[in-house]
Copies of this chain bind each other. A is one copy, B any other.
Amino acid sequence: MAKKDLGVVPAVYPMPVLIVAAYDKDGKVNAMNAAWGMICDMDKIALFISEGHKTTKNILESKAFTVAIADKAHMDVADYFGIASGNNTPDKFERTGYTAVKSQHVNAPIIDEFPVTMECSLAEVVSTETMYCIVGKIANVVADEAVLSDNGKVDPAKLNALIFDQFQSGYYVTGDKVGQAWNAGKPLMQKK
């Protein structure tokens, strides 16, 4: 296959569209859009968000945050959360007209409109020579009943989550299911 060098590019695909929300010291809600976040243990999430964000400051103060999965129906607000800054837009959250309710598990706001939300306590701030990272311990996940399948788990086909494409800054949604993990590779396991 003919190959081409692209140079130094952040080439992970797909990336999620995560909405990170926290209270400031007065209990005011702020939220931001982050693609660079990933599960780092079965009960933990790592967010690579820089120190300058209003939400980062709020997390360091309140010791808690939520992380929601943005879906197609709320793309405009999810994207707005990535354009506007809470540092110079004090009413950033209020302008959306969205509703935030306090988590029953941690001191952080759940934005009602998003379909799946992780409720996290601040577990650690990791600051090394190569990374700055907020680690959250997941206390609970709350989901709209409408995105669950009969087995009680989230169904990606119902979730309609946004996918971020950092190559071209596009938003996509999920297409067809094409296989099952720990299954598609079984024939190769049995190959002599």
Query: What is the interface of chain A, defined by CB distance below 8 A to chain B?
Result: 1-16, 18, 35-46, 48, 67, 69, 72, 75-84, 95-96, 112-113, 115-116, 118, 123-124, 126, 128-131, 133, 135, 137-146, 148-149, 151-156, 159, 161-189, 191
Contact = CB atoms under 8 A, between A and B. Distances in A.
The 5 residue pairs across chains A and B that have the minimum distance between CB atoms = A80-B185, A175-B175, A79-B185, A79-B184, A38-B38
| Chain B CB within 10 Å, residue with most, of A67, A82, A174 | A174
A129 to B, nearest CB: 6
A79 B182 contact: yes
Nearest to A84: B189
A69 B13 contact: yes
Given A39-B48, A133-B40, A144-B1, A69 B185 contact: no
A85 B69 CA distance: 32
B40 A48 contact: yes
A163 B154 contact: no
A122 B13 CA distance: 21
Given A46-B48, A81-B185, A14 B14 contact: yes
B180 A11 contact: no
Given A46-B46, A130-B41, A174-B174, A156 B168 contact: yes
| Chain B CB within 10 Å, residue with most, of A12, A156, A170, A175 | A12
Contacts of A135: 130-131
A175 B178 contact: no
A112 B162 CA distance: 30
Contacts of A181: 79, 82, 164, 169-171
Given A42-B10, A171-B184, A4 B143 contact: yes
A43 B130 CA distance: 10
